[in-house]
Amino acid sequence: MAKRGELFGRLPAQVVEAALGRYRRSTIRYPKVVDGAVVERLLESVIVSVAESLHPADPSVPTELDALRPGSPLAREPEKAAALVGAVLAATGDSGFDVMALSLAVRDALVEVSPSYGDRVALADFGDWLAAVAIESFAAARASAERERARDQLEEGLPVVLVTPEIPAAFLLGTLDGDLVDSVLSRLLLQVVRVGARSAILDLTGLVGAARNEVLDAAIAFAAHRKIHGAVVVSAVGLAALDERCWREALVGQGFSWEFETHFDRAVDRAIVRSGYRLLHQ
């Protein structure tokens, strides 16, 4: 197949204009007002990358259309552009139908300027591949956004409270990764500093996998903080026997001032006494 130049003599801007018209007329996308400037930039990013791949600055780089295959060096920049389109549309609230409509508009506009049947087949196949890349990027970006949203909701739902004006407490629930545990303990640290606490309570009754390394690493980092180590006694509440053994080895074994209680009210009683109060039980 003969080497090709810049989209068969057509300027990329002309191809972009044709693709924008196809997108506007598409029956696949959701019917809505099209922001021509935004869509044009997305179309341009893909079409220009294809043009530059077929007409590289380095003349030694092969520019045969049959070299424009999925995963090939020649396809790298168009694939990046298609992935970016999918991610951008995911972030702006568009649908997968919009991604597909835009991808097909690019494919059909490229095919339209191809002078031979072989070129049209090659660009149609490559356009389908770019559509798949865009859809995959769109889905991955949406899934990532959902995970972040769920993570934020989970973090906001893990309370850090004042049991008394001088005793802060944090509650860890569910299966949490090290970053989430670290975030909650950072909020507990802020409360400790704000009220000048001498005691703090960490309720672990509902934490799943409390002895995982990432959880213990977050606890050790919290315990080693200069505002905690040697200044605050932390009570860990509700650990199972095996988990408590791991926590003792990781914390008390390193000289940190931690206590372990089975019940939350017992931890509160001891914290109140450490704060200088005397409890009278009836």
Contact (Cβ atoms closer than 8 angstroms) between residue 161 and residue 199: no
Pick from 150, 180, 205: which residue ends a domain?
150
Specify the number of domains making up the chain.
2
Tens of each residue's pLDDT in the chain, 282 residues: 334 445 555 677 888 888 999 999 988 888 887 788 888 899 989 988 888 887 655 555 555 666 678 888 888 999 999 999 999 999 888 899 999 999 999 999 988 887 777 778 888 899 999 999 999 999 999 998 888 877 776 777 788 999 999 999 999 988 888 888 999 999 999 999 999 999 999 999 999 999 999 999 999 999 999 999 989 999 999 999 999 999 999 998 788 889 999 999 999 988 888 877 665 555
Domain that holds residue 96: 12-150
22 and 127, same domain (yes or no): yes
What pLDDT, on a 0 to 100 scale, did the predictor assign at position 189?
95
132 and 181, same domain (yes or no): no
What pLDDT, on a 0 to 100 scale, did the predictor assign at position 58?
52
CA distances from 176 to 26, 39, 235, 243 (A): 45, 40, 20, 15
What pLDDT, on a 0 to 100 scale, did the predictor assign at position 281?
57
52 and 173, same domain (yes or no): no
Give the span between the Cα atoms of 232 and 190, in whole angstroms. 13
What pLDDT, on a 0 to 100 scale, did the predictor assign at position 5?
42
What pLDDT, on a 0 to 100 scale, did the predictor assign at position 55?
67
170 and 141, same domain (yes or no): no
Give the span between the Cα atoms of 9 and 181, in whole angstroms. 59
* Tokens representing residue 76 in the block: 């790298």
- Residue at 281 is within a domain: no
Pick from 98, 125, 150: which residue ends a domain?
150
Give, as one character, the DSSP assignment of residue 203. Answer: E
- Residue at 280 is within a domain: no
The CATH number of residue 224's host domain is: 3.30.750.24
Contact (Cβ atoms closer than 8 angstroms) between residue 68 and residue 118: no
* Tokens representing residue 238 in the block: 């509700």
- Residue at 43 is within a domain: yes
| Identity of the amino acid at 152 | D
What pLDDT, on a 0 to 100 scale, did the predictor assign at position 257?
83
